[in-house]
Amino acid sequence: MQQDNKDGVQKKEVSIDAFDFFTVLLKYKKLILAMVIGAGLLSALYGLFLKKDHTPPPVLMYRSECALLINSNSNVDYMIANIKSKLILKGVFVKCQQMGKDFGNMTYETFGKMMKFDVDSASKILNIAVESKDPQSSQNALTCFVSQFNDVLKANALEPLESKRSYFRTKYKLSTDAYEKQSLAERLVHVDEQIFTIKSMKYYNYETIRSTQVQSQGQGTKPLNPILLTLFMMFLALMVAVTIAFLLEYFQNLKTSEPQKLRAMKKLLRFRDRDK
């Protein structure tokens, strides 16, 4: 169907018939099926090979573990909330370095990730485990953690109390009111008692550290799912095959209905002849 545009130039409307679409697909069905099946077989074989080739071998690891027996007068919730705190882990790591523990290029984030915690609030037992390829490294990290964790917890709890004591002392010195000074003195006594209790507190006792050999799955590249890979490649092959089928049909129509266009395209593709 043709219609005139504003400039009086005839414009051709192009419509695609569904029957023609299926005719082209049926005409080149062998090509399409061959490409889809071939892509499916190749991707299935590749997926199986990839899964077999990238299965990480088991790695021999060394696991050190012990249990912290939390004292009855300690706040279990406080310890649980702080056991994975970045501030606490960094404090423990720094104190371990100050003790001369050599962790190589390890950062406190890596140091914290090595620790595996399992808390039983009812029995007040905190189980800690460390896995490493080096047996001495896992034992050193765990030994240092359980020995310094108590002091770091104390420092973390004492910091706000010491700031509060310093504030009350300053206010007490500057105050001229007798009633206010008495109130500040009572607060100072209460804060001092809290500080003394924390400084003398031992949050936990820990058992002997046990070290064992364990086999851990190696960290390799995660293989692709062979089924998903096969389906994806078959779908991709189907899209490519359909595109090729319509291109072949288009050139076939050019050959019969408009051979001059086909000759012009061939001429454009002859780079050497065109340059002469």
Domain ranges of the chain: 17-54+223-269, 58-217
Looking at the chain, how many residues does it have? Answer: 276
Average pLDDT of the chain, as a whole number: 78
- Return the amino acid letter for 36: V
Q: What percent of the chain is predicted at pLDDT more than 90?
A: 12
Mean pLDDT lowest among 3-12, 31-40, 56-65 = 3-12
pTM of the shown model: 0.52
Q: Which pLDDT score, from 0 to 100, does residue 14 have?
A: 47
Using the predicted structure, report yes or no on whether residue 263 has a pLDDT greater than 90. Answer: no
For the chain, strand residue ranges (E) read 2-4, 10-12, 58-70, 115-120, 125-132, 204-206, 210-217
pLDDT in tens, 127-166: 888 887 777 777 888 888 888 888 888 888 899 999 999 9
Phi, psi of 263 (to 5 degrees): -65, -35
Torsion of CA 263, 269, 271, 272, to 10 degrees: -50
For residue 18, how many C-alpha atoms fall within 13 Å in the half-sphere facing its CB?
A: 0
Burial 42-77 (b: 16+ CB within 10 A, else e): ebbeebeebeeeeeeeeeebbbbbbbbebeeebebe
Quick one: pLDDT at residue 57?
A: 62
Q: What is the pLDDT at residue 52?
A: 59
Most confident among 37-41, 118-122, 253-257 (mean pLDDT): 37-41
Please determine, for residue 9, whether its predicted confidence score (pLDDT) is greater than 50: no
Overall CATH class of domain 58-217: alpha beta
Cα dist from 243 to 19, 27, 246, 249, 251, whole Å: 17, 13, 5, 10, 12
pLDDT of residue 166: 93
The tokens for 21 are 């679409």
User: Alpha-carbon distance 36 to 53, whole Å?
Assistant: 25
Residue 223 is predicted with a pLDDT of: 57
Identify the residue with better confidence: 210 or 79.
210
Mean pLDDT is highest, among 11-20, 99-108, 208-217, for 208-217
Q: What pLDDT is recorded for position 276?
A: 46
* Both tokens assigned to 32: 């399409």
Q: Does 54 score more than 70 pLDDT?
A: no
Q: Which of 82, 76, 63 is nearest to 204 (CA)?
A: 76
What is the percentage of the chain residues whose pLDDT exceeds 70? 80
